[in-house]
Chain A
Amino acid sequence: MNLAEGIRFVCTILLSVMMIGAALGVVLFENIVYSAFTLAGVFMSIAGLYILLNADFVSAAQVLVYVGAVNVLILFAIMLVNKREDFKPVPRRWVRKGSAALVCAGVFALLATMVVKTSWPTDLSLVPPVSAVELIGEHFFSDYLLPFEIASILLLMALVGAIVIARRESIVGEETALVGETPPPVLELPERPREPVA
């Protein structure tokens, strides 16, 4: 093992420990803001693992999309629904948590045995391509052209759909119908009341 492989090994172990620890923090922290920041830690460590796996373009996309967009979006959502509410205790909640942990451990054991038992035909003699970006671009515009275009349509649908779902409906032009006296300056649009459900 030469120096480069040693550094690679140490970096992989370090990033893996960081990733698992931060993921446990996302799930187990009581405060949701801490969870959001440890989620950023998970995304950054996964970006580092992508670099170690010769995937530089995907690593950059991971940092841009996940840390830059999704995590900020989640932080905004936490601030928008920031309500310090103590959840009502549910009876025998520890049974649910324990059974969920048991099932997850079982799934992990199953996957681990599958991974270890299978003999993967890895071939490390082939050198990886010099520029992954060019290859990915060729794939996008030749044999994966249709999924690429469908992904753009999906993004447009998600954009419009998110705005339609999350916006408030305001009433425009009804209160200005009063003639005679000047209405006081209203600094916010009146909102159409939604009937609360149940």
Chain B
Amino acid sequence: MPLEFFLLLAAALFCIGIYGLVTSRNAVRVLMSVELLLNAVNLNLVSFSNYLDGQNIRGQVFTVFVITVAAAEAAVGLAIILAIYRSRDTIDMEQFNLLKW
């Protein structure tokens, strides 16, 4: 498989993630879309580290860092969603306009 195949795959996953991030109304689904975006970036990094930097795999090191940050982001994001749900009693993204104007 050439490198381009994996890059196209990661690009497709990234675009699906952006679509879900913009259009979904459930706040938990927004977090899932963010996870899709981070996974697309990870796939890019790993394929670059395999094809372009095969001797000292620095892309995989960066992937481990991205996985760490993604785990932290998921925990804090779900805590924020829980707090918003308690105070506003909904998880509809259309009504989270607290800081909008």
Chain A residues engaging chain B, CB cutoff 8 angstroms: 8-9, 12, 16, 19-20, 23-24, 26-27, 32, 35-36, 39, 42-43, 46, 49-50, 52-55, 57-58, 61-62, 65-66, 69-70, 73-74, 76-78, 80-81, 83, 85, 87-88, 90, 96-97, 100-101, 103-105, 107-108, 111-112, 115-116, 120-124, 126-129, 132, 135-136, 139-140, 144, 147, 151, 154-155, 157-159, 161-163, 165-166, 168, 194, 196-198
- Residues of A within 8 Å of B19, CB to CB, are 27, 100-101, 104
Chain A binding surface, main DSSP class: helix
Query: Measured between C-beta atoms, what is the minimum distance from A189 to chain B in Å?
Result: 15
Query: Measured between C-beta atoms, what is the minimum distance from B1 to chain A in Å?
Result: 5
Within 8 Å by CB of B35, from A39, A116, A139, A144, lies: A39
List 4 extra interface pairs beyond A23-B13, A123-B52, A196-B87, CB under 8 A: A20-B13, A65-B67, A112-B11, A139-B56
- Residues of B within 8 Å of A78, CB to CB, are 28
- Residues of A within 8 Å of B79, CB to CB, are 161-163, 165-166
Alpha-carbon gap, A39 to B37, bound state (A): 12
Chain B residues engaging chain A, CB cutoff 8 angstroms: 1-9, 11-20, 22-29, 31-33, 35-36, 39, 42-43, 46-47, 49-52, 54-58, 60-61, 63-65, 67-76, 78-83, 85-92, 94, 98
